Homo-oligomer: A and B are copies of this chain.
Amino acid sequence: MLSTSASLDNLIAQFSRLPGIGRKTAQRLALHVLKLSMDDVRLMSQALIDVKENVRTCSICCNITEDDPCSVCTSPKRDRRIICVVEESTDVFAIEKTNDFKGLYHVLGGRLSPLEGIGPDDLRIPELLDRTADGAEEVILAMNPHVEGEATTLYLSKLLKPLGVRVTRIARGLPVGTDLEFADNATISRALEGRIAV
């Protein structure tokens, strides 16, 4: 970039560091910022600082929160006997959007991945076992449907079952709205395997 402003070059460099933002997009975003009002830019600038200053991790479920414990863990409307285990906070957002789950969450902070050097000690597994032993009746394993997610599911289920809790996993099958014709083999195999009585 040979812009005639060091501040603009700097902002472009800052935007470029964000994931999925290339040089051209960063340039477009920076030029857009130039067109915004000073008030709007101040709001954006402050939002960045606020998120770092206010957001922490819930000491119970390890989800993103501003108050510790988080609103899900403290809500009286939640069923404390069911714990849904997910990899990341984004998975909690995805499940919350459905409004279909009324239990508690446990964010592992990743999945077992020997290739990336992530072992059981890097995940929040002891905390999950403590919570499970503390009165849970069902633990739902909601890992992502990859090889590593499956391995994590298997590993956790072996640790959880001896605690006398019901261990379930979310279903693998055809996503709503697609055609059988276009589904991949692995998905169809799982859909057949997981068939239920009508």
CA distance A66 to B33 in the complex (A): 16
Q: How far, in whole Å, are A54 and B42 apart by their CA atoms in the complex?
A: 14
Asked whether A14 lies within 8 Å of B90 as measured between CB atoms, the reply is no
Answer whether residue A18 sits at the interface, using C-beta atoms and an 8 A cutoff: yes
Mark A70-94 against chain B: 1 for CB-CB distance below 8 A, else 0.
1110000000000000000110110
Q: How large is the interface on A (under 10, 10 to 19, 20 to 34, 35 or more residues)?
A: 35 or more
Taking a contact as CB atoms closer than 8 A, the residue among B14, B45, B64, B90 that contacts A4 in the complex is B64
Contact digits for A29-57, partner B, Cβ 8 Å, 1 yes 0 no: 11111101010111111111111111100
Contact: B33 with A28, CB < 8 Å?
no
B38 touches A89 (CB 8 A): no
Residue of B nearest to A2 (CB): B96
What are the residues of chain B within 8 A of A38 when measuring CB–CB?
Answer: 52
The verdict on A54 contacting B7 (CB below 8 Å), with A19-B28, A43-B14 known, is yes
| CA gap between A97 and B24 in the complex, in Å | 13
Instruction: Please give the residue numbers on chain A whose beta carbons come within 8 Å of chain B beta carbons, in ascending order.
Output: 1-8, 10-11, 14, 17-21, 25, 27-34, 36, 38, 40-55, 58, 63-66, 70-72, 89-90, 92-93, 96-97
